[in-house]
Amino acid sequence: MREINSLKKTLHHKSNLFLLQMALVYLSWKLLYYGIEHAEGKWREGWLSLVHQLSLFYADVSVLVLRFMGEAVKREGIGIHFYELSRIVDVEEHCLAIPAMYIFIFSIALFSGSWKNKLWFIPLGLLGIAFINVMRLVPLAFVFAHLPDKYFIFHHSFLFVAITYGLILAMVRIWMKYFSNIEASQNI
Q: Is residue 10 part of a domain?
A: no
Does the residue 12 lie in any domain? no
The residue segments making up the domain with residue 81 are: 23-186
pLDDT at residue 186, rounded to an integer? 47
Does residue 5 lie within any of the structural domains? Answer: no
Whether residue 4 lies inside any domain: the answer is no
Rounded to 10 degrees, the C-alpha dihedral 113/117/120/126 comes to -20
Does residue 33 lie in a domain region? yes
Q: What is the three-class DSSP state of 68?
A: helix
14 within domain boundaries: no
Residue 45 falls within a domain, yes or no?
Answer: yes
**Mean of the pLDDT values across residues 151-173?**
89
pLDDT in tens, 80-134: 999 999 999 999 998 999 999 999 999 899 888 999 999 999 999 999 999 999 9
In the chain, how many domains are there? 1
- Confirm whether 9 is domain-assigned: no
The arithmetic mean of pLDDT across residues 146-162, rounded, is 90
